[in-house]
Amino acid sequence: MDSANKTSFTRRDFLYRAAAVGGTGLLLNTMNAWGMGIASTAAAPPQLSGSGKGKRVLILGAGLAGMTAAFELGKLGYDCQIIEARAFAGGRCQTARQGFTLQELGGEAQTCQFDRGEYINHGPWRIPYHHQSTLHYTRLFEVPLEVMVNDNDHSIVYLEDAGPLSRQRLRPAALKADLRGHTAELLAKSVKNHQLDAELSADDQHLLLDYLAHEGQLAGADLRYKGRSGRGFSVNPGAGQLPGAGTPSDPLGFKQLLASKVGKVYSAVQDFPMQNTMFQPVGGMDQLAKAFEKRIGKKVRYQTEVTSIRQDAAGVSVTFKDTRSGKAGKLAADYCLCTIPLSVLRNIDTDFSDKFKQAVKAVAYAPVGKIGLQMKRRFWEEEDHIYGGHVLTDLQGINTISLPSTGWQKKKGVLLGYYNYQTAAIEMSALTPAERAEFALAAGQQIFPAYRASFEAAFSVAWHRVQYSLGGWAEWNEKNRASAYPLLLEGEGRVLLAGEHMSHLTGWQAGAIESAWQQIAQLHERAGA
């Protein structure tokens, strides 16, 4: 696998995949069109008038989309029943803590062995400030939030393939300071050499030099970059005379920086959807799922697999299998809201039209892998003074090591040992849980000397191998976004679809929630007609 990985792994892959974690400014294909919004487009559920009294809605899946729908439709008087294949609610909104079990398809069972109080959000793990739909429910349900440190200029960048800066522990702050300092100096020189006289008036040139001197912290009349406090000191200021006011550190050379291409690991501004302020629920992402479950849990029939979906002019009928007893059963309703991932739905017996079935099959699901590593000591805090954020690396199959944004200064902590995607995720998923842990430890050891010695327990997931999920998120491309997507948004007859896959926020809880909001409005309209 190693060699396969080597050949399949390019710097471009790294940068491409790093974007999945948001540590860099690069974007996933699916994000190209996205932006940060000053106003949220969907900050509250739709205001629906009329009543759903006497109408039965069968909701397939107790993930965030299904539970959002049940919660909101219930307020309108609809009689909702949720069918959930898993023994718990939340879908991919999961948190692995002591006793949590997972068995991937064809894989061995894992039972999380972390200490009490330690956990990893192996599914969704971040809520950006502009996901007002998700934040609507954390606020309504009073789910306590804490800041998730998604940007840390004082974390580490460690690249194997960075020319003259390869295999060094670099700090993003130093890279930003030096690249912006050198480029500001270069542009200032162009201005002073009158090379921009055609572009800018004398006044504008004066204003630009003023800006560049600030942005690049250029010193002297000749506006040279000679380093800055923000890049880091070799010795910090302190008390008394020694170390006194601190000892400056030397900037990295411009040509060296250019040759290393490290400028691509950060962005001038964080791109949507990775922007701060970033949140996480205190105690684990599943606290959000549990908050929903507390309110609509009675409507959920657990460990019940959907085997078929049928509809006629009169209503919808769904057959299922109880995974405990193995017994089959059937439920009828006026409408059905199906939140089952398309990767799973495509294998369920339905009477959808061929066109609709083709659309269901059209979208690929992202192979995604994560591993949580419990460390008996927070060496990253104690020795490197890194508090949260991501360690960006091109080490094969790792993409990022992310440090916990909770339990500050506690003895132990669970870090994210890798967050891989596509090729690397597929390769990693071929390994056993123990092999994955070994892979992650060998890589992390190259960056942190105390890594392997501090390791206590691992828990990993390969979402594309997880039953009832079969992938991290729906990965639309331009073609099927234009053809299949609009068709699926319409649903078919009495069956409507909801979930992150029915949004432009794929892979995000906000996508599932906003999709549910949109589809219940459509269902309500259809039911009223």
The footprint of its own copies on residues 387-446 (CB under 8 A) is: 387-389, 405, 408-409
234: its two tokens: 């070799």
Spatial distance between the Cα atoms of 503 and 447, rounded to a whole number of angstroms: 38
Which CA distances in Å does 503 have to 263, 329, 357, 477? 32, 32, 19, 13
Say whether residue 518 binds its own copies (CB under 8 A): yes
Closest separation in Å from C-beta 113 to its own copies: 25
**Window 484-513: residues binding its own copies (CB under 8 A):** 485-486, 489, 502-505, 510-511
The amino acid occupying position 202 is: A
Radius of gyration of the chain (CA): 26
Cβ closest to its own copies, residue 259 vs residue 453? 259
Which H/E stretch holds residue 519? helix 509-528
**Window 218-247: residues binding its own copies (CB under 8 A):** 228-241, 243-247
Spatial distance between the Cα atoms of 393 and 387, rounded to a whole number of angstroms: 17
Spatial distance between the Cα atoms of 418 and 391, rounded to a whole number of angstroms: 10
Cβ closest to its own copies, residue 127 vs residue 437? 127
**Window 193-212: residues binding its own copies (CB under 8 A):** 193, 195-196, 199, 204, 207-208, 210-212
Closest separation in Å from C-beta 330 to its own copies: 31
Spatial distance between the Cα atoms of 430 and 420, rounded to a whole number of angstroms: 13
Judged by CB under 8 A, the residue of 56, 224, 261, 321 near its own copies is: 261
Spatial distance between the Cα atoms of 65 and 254, rounded to a whole number of angstroms: 49
**Window 264-293: residues binding its own copies (CB under 8 A):** 264, 267-272, 275-277, 279
How many other CB atoms are there within 10 angstroms of residue 368's CB atom? 28
Cβ closest to its own copies, residue 156 vs residue 428? 156
Answer whether 70's CB lies under 8 Å from 59's CB. Answer: yes
Check whether the bond before 506 is cis (ω within 30° of 0).
no
75: its two tokens: 């307020």
DSSP state of 38: S
Closest separation in Å from C-beta 343 to its own copies: 19
Judged by CB under 8 A, the residue of 134, 152, 304, 509 near its own copies is: 152
Closest separation in Å from C-beta 347 to its own copies: 24
Give, in degrees to the nearest 5, the angle at Cα 45 between 44 and 49: 130
Which listed range, 27-35, 69-77, 320-328, 445-453, lies at the site for its own copies (CB under 8 A)? Answer: 27-35
371 DSSP β-pair partners: 418, 460
Which CA distances in Å does 394 have to 11, 428, 480? 7, 15, 31
Closest separation in Å from C-beta 425 to its own copies: 24
Closest separation in Å from C-beta 453 to its own copies: 21
The amino acid occupying position 468 is: Y
**308: phi then psi, degrees, rounded to nearest 5:** -160, 155
3-state secondary structure of 80: strand
- Give the x-and-dash track for 320-359 against its own copies (CB under 8 A): ----------------------------------------
Judged by CB under 8 A, the residue of 8, 98, 168, 249 near its own copies is: 249
Closest separation in Å from C-beta 529 to its own copies: 19
Answer whether 407's CB lies under 8 Å from 413's CB. Answer: yes
Judged by CB under 8 A, the residue of 162, 514, 520, 527 near its own copies is: 514
Closest separation in Å from C-beta 361 to its own copies: 20
**Window 66-105: residues binding its own copies (CB under 8 A):** none
* Per-position DSSP letters for 167-226, written without gaps between them: T--B-HHHHHHHHHHHHHHHHHHHHHTTTTTTTS-HHHHHHHHHHHHHHTT-BTTTTB--
Cβ closest to its own copies, residue 463 vs residue 517? 517
Judged by CB under 8 A, the residue of 4, 6, 37, 75 near its own copies is: 37
Judged by CB under 8 A, the residue of 79, 115, 153, 438 near its own copies is: 153
How many chain residues touch its own copies (CB under 8 A)? 115
Which listed range, 113-121, 213-221, 308-316, 335-343, lies at the site for its own copies (CB under 8 A)? Answer: 213-221
Answer whether 494's CB lies under 8 Å from 337's CB. Answer: no
Closest separation in Å from C-beta 236 to its own copies: 3
Cβ closest to its own copies, residue 337 vs residue 386? 386
3-state secondary structure of 153: coil
Which listed range, 79-87, 369-377, 421-429, 483-491, lies at the site for its own copies (CB under 8 A)? Answer: 483-491
Cβ closest to its own copies, residue 47 vs residue 325? 47
Judged by CB under 8 A, the residue of 145, 291, 364, 426 near its own copies is: 145
Cβ closest to its own copies, residue 295 vs residue 321? 295
The amino acid occupying position 356 is: F
